[in-house]
Structure 1
Amino acid sequence: MGGLSLVDGWLPIVLLAVGGIALFGLLTRWGRGAVVTVVLAVLVAALAYAGLNPLLVDALDLLPEPLPRQVLIWIALGLGGVVLAVGSLFGTRPGRKVLALVCGLLVLVSAASQINVYFQQYPTVSALAGTGDERSFAGGHGAPSRPMTTPVASRWRGPATAPSSIESAPIPGTVSGFTARDAQLYLPAAYNSPNAPLLPVLVLVAGQPGGPEDWVVGGTLQALMDDVAERHGGLAPVTVVVDPNGADGNNTMCMDSDIAKADTYLSVDVPRWIQANLGVDSNHAHWSFGGWSFGGTCALQMATRHPDLYPNFVDLAGEREPAISADRTQTIRIAFHGDTAAFDALTPLTLLAQRRYPGVWGYFACGGEEQEVGAWQTEVSTAAQRAGMTVRTQVVPGQGHSWGVPHASLPPAMDFLGPRLGLTAPNAR
């Protein structure tokens, strides 16, 4: 039951059908006030569809980019169903009241299910229930980190004798002073085995709002990275999902600014902790930084500001530049006390225009249905190529701004970066 899919298969279809029947049941109420209720429901739904993005993006600055049209439709239908249910509580018999409440709840569940189908935040019932088997990190395999000059594919042939694991660990902001939520660690089967090699490193960041656990739940990180290992003879990078925001509602833009020293956290505290605690290949030529949405923007920032630390990156549906608000002036006022030059000096497009990056490799991906993000990807990847980076791009057909993009693109990104990370031996075909 826990493995039952919430994004494809029969269950979302059944929930959609049940929600449609419930909505029809709410619309069949006759009697006093019925017409008024329907009119109010339509007005509320229309207002939500037309007004949510202006409210959340422009007026309140709660989101840096608009909600997709499909999501707005389901939010509008869900709110319309609530209005119909509430209206049915007045002037009706007790049985009708109970039926209205049940139908209203079913409409909400159906709408929420379809929103989840779009974003793929909770892929299974167990993910929604939070019944994973995450455990606290108890220590590495014992071997100290050291820089390796040869790829791990030429140093290890396996076999792995233990399964991969997801574990959590705090990474303190010793230098930055930043307070982060616990990181999520993907430790490959090879890492957990007695004959463990020193593996390369992938640092990941989730979207915003969100946190490290999103990569484990919505991103199905363990399954994705197990797939990477299967494609590379049992080898995958030790993956550390870090938190540069500190809370769901925070947005540091992965920068050192008036908000926080998030860049120092990611470029000093995080790599030092990984090398001191995990027992990995500390040769940064074998390290990469990746992320989804906000995290993709962050990945390109790390590669352009710290190519010595993260010379390989994966930008999955990132923005053209970091942002707190859709209003660029507001972003700069909040984070850089209005100093546009200070902000511009740290953005990827500025750095790509000013510097050369012949030693950096980058992988970009976005959904085929997200036109604005696709335009950003074209602009930024072109700038990266002009700056000397080796770049590959991917468009995932049929996907909007959802976890379906990382699901389809992270393993190919690791294939592309495999020779750089050492997952592929130099002469391997």
Structure 2
Amino acid sequence: MTIDSPATVALGAAAVLLATLALAFFWDRRGVFGRTVLAALVVVMLAATCAVQINRLTVAYPSWSALVDEPARGASLSAGVARRPGGGRLLTVTVPGRASGLTLTMGVYLPAAYDSPAGANRRFPVIEVFHGFPGSPSTWIRRLDVVRHLDSEMAAGRMAPTVVLFPYQTPRRMLDTECTDLVGGPRTETFLTTDVAAYAVQHLRVRADAAAWGLIGYSSGGFCAMNLALRHPERYAAAASLSGDSRPAITIGDGSEHTTNNVAWRLRHLPPPRVALYVAWAADDTESRDGSRDVVRLARPPLNVTAVELPRGGHSPTLWRRMASPAFDWLSGHLARSIPGGSAS
């Protein structure tokens, strides 16, 4: 029974119910100390069950071992993910952060074409995928079923064969970095934009030029995608935001959450780069709606923005599953295709 399974939540709910019944039954049969212990037990078990349910939604901890196994230790992101006939394969690697000082686990999706005879001597475009907070790459893999989306879109020809990377965004699961270099903390931006790219180019058959690199994320990962694309147009050609805000939800330490690490501020005050953004949100999601609309309203050439507003869906995995395939298709359409070259693994 995994930590994020429905059975775990059901077991927790049953335990809360039994503890509550025990509290009612023994209320007049125990003294103050006994009643206090039983009441505390009910509260603890209720809190634990709520935490398990929240984890089911975010998959911040995909397994019991993940409670103590931090991303730097190489926890597998591909375990339990079956390869579909004719589909791509998912593997887990560890990225040494020579520039950032971080060494973190990363999931890698290799399309079916990567392993085909025709693709053996080609270098492929790349998409980096960002999760929200709380969350982990496993949210994309387990909750959003991203491998099925990628397999289906590539098999149908709506998406070109693409290598897709699922990096962690922090060395600690419950630390929100918003993909920035925190003052006195992890240099996540450097890890994602420099170390991940260096690893991919060295160890995978991928293109190194910006025309073939894109970003996508949901929630705070959507902010990450937009912000990093605007800050690093020499590295990325396009980015897609699913329910992302225009500003980070943290204090970075140097005030840049109000300026250069704020998408709306950059669009107001700095020359826009020649990149493309796909900005999608639900109208009933106040958390991301206003920020996303600001990005669309403030955009000007040479920045190109495609806006998609859905009438409802809230801020939820259900919505992001609906958004995923069109967003990946759009990204693929804005990235350069594979080219002949190299002999990386």
Report the TM-score, using the length of structure 1 for normalisation: 0.61
| 1:411 aligned partner | 325
Task: Report if aligned partners of 2:97, 2:191 keep a CA contact under 8 Å in 1.
Answer: yes
Across the two proteins, how many residue pairs are aligned to each other? Answer: 308
Give structure 2 stretches of 5+ with no counterpart. Answer: 30-37, 66-75, 339-345
Question: Could you say which residue in structure 2 is the equivalent of 1:143?
Answer: none
- Partner residue of 1:148? none
CA distance in 2, matches of 1:120, 1:230: 29
Aligned partner of 1:187 among 96, 110, 127: 110
Q: Does the 8 Å contact 1:209/1:249 carry over to 2?
A: yes
| Residue identity in the other structure for 2:24 | S
Give the structure 2 partner of residue 213 of structure 1: 138
- Cα RMSD (Å): 4.1
Residues 1:323 and 2:249 are matched in the alignment: yes
Q: Choose from 15, 24, 28 the match for 1:88.
A: 24
Question: 299, 314, 319: which is aligned to 1:400?
Answer: 314
Residues 61-119 of structure 1 show CA distances to partners (whole Å, capped at 9, x for unaligned) of xxxxxxxxxxxxxxxxx98x6884353241589xxxxxx9xxx8xx969x869967x98
Q: Which structure 2 residues correspond to residues 103-182 of structure 1 after superposition, within 5 A? A: 120-121=57-58, 134=78, 163-180=87-104, 182=105
What is the match of residue 260 of structure 1? 186
**Aligned-pair distance for 1:279?**
0.6
One-letter amino acid of the counterpart of residue 134, structure 1:
S
1:224 maps to which residue? 149
Using a 3 Å threshold, how does the CA distance of structure 1 residues 368 and 119 change in structure 2: closer, same or farther? farther
Contact 1:171 1:270 in 2 (8 A): yes
Cα distance, 1:305 vs structure 2: 0.4
Q: Distance in 2 between matches of 1:193 and 1:356?
A: 43
**Distance in structure 1 (CA, Å) of the matches to 2:207 and 2:222:** 24
2:343 maps to what in 1? none
Q: Specify the SS of the correspondent of 1:170.
A: strand
Residue 369 (str. 1) matches residue 284 (str. 2):
yes
- Could you tell me the TM-score, scaled by structure 2's length? 0.74
Please name the residue that 1:27 is paired with. Answer: none
Aligned AA (1:200)? P
C-alpha change, 1:279 and 1:207, in structure 2 (3 Å) is same
User: Which one-letter code corresponds to 2:130 in the other structure?
Assistant: V
Q: Relative to structure 1, is the Cα distance of residues 233 and 298 closer, same or farther in structure 2, using a 3 angstrom cutoff?
A: closer
Q: Give how far 1:386 is off.
A: 2.8
Q: Per residue, is there more strand in 1 or in 2?
A: 2
CA displacement, residues 368-417 of structure 1 (integer Å, 9 cap, x when unaligned): 4322311111112222x235422122234542221123211121112223
* Distance of aligned partners of 1:176 and 1:371 in 2 relative to their CA distance in 1, 3 Å threshold: same
Higher helix share: 1
Distance 2:58 2:261 in 1: 31
| Change in 2 beyond 3 A, CA 1:253/1:234 | closer
Aligned residue for 2:305?
Answer: 391
Q: Determine helix, strand or coil for the equivalent of 2:233.
A: coil
For residue 271 of structure 1, the aligned residue among 170, 177, 197 is 197
* Whole-angstrom distance in 1 between the partners of 2:161 and 2:319: 20
Distance 1:373 1:270, change over 3 A: same
Kindly indicate whether the alpha-carbon contact (under 8 Å) linking 1:188 and 1:235 is maintained by their aligned counterparts in 2: no
Question: How far off its partner does 1:346 sit?
Answer: 3.0
Gapped regions of structure 1 (runs ≥ 5): 23-77, 94-99, 137-160, 325-330, 425-429
| Residue number in structure 1 paired with 2:295 | 380
For residues 28-83 of structure 1, what are the alpha-carbon distances to aligned partners after superposition, in whole Å with 9 as ceiling and x for unaligned?
A: xxxxxxxxxxxxxxxxxxxxxxxxxxxxxxxxxxxxxxxxxxxxxxxxxx98x688
Query: Are residue 314 (structure 1) and residue 237 (structure 2) matched?
Result: no
Residue 340 to residue 247, structure 1, CA distance change in 2 (3 Å): closer
Change (3 A) 1:289 1:233: closer
Output aligned runs, 1:71-86, within 5 Å.
Answer: 84-86=20-22
Alignment of 1:243 with 2:158, yes or no, is no
Query: How far apart are residue 219 of structure 1 and its match?
Result: 2.1
Structure 2 partner of 1:356: 271
CA distance in 2 between partners of 1:274 and 1:187 (Å):
12
Q: Residue 375 of structure 1 aligns to which amino acid in structure 2?
A: D
Identity across the alignment (%): 25
Per-residue CA deviation, residues 238-267 of structure 1 (Å, 9 max, x unaligned), is: 100111211211122322231222221122
Once residues 348 and 292 of structure 1 are traced to their aligned partners in structure 2, the CA distance between those partners, rounded to angstroms, is: 15
Paired residue secondary structure (2:128): strand
Report the 3-state secondary structure (helix = DSSP H, G, I; strand = E; otherwise coil) of the residue aligned with 2:249.
coil
Say if 1:82 and 1:108, in contact at 8 Å, map to a contact too.
Answer: no
CA distance in 2, matches of 1:342, 1:133: 31
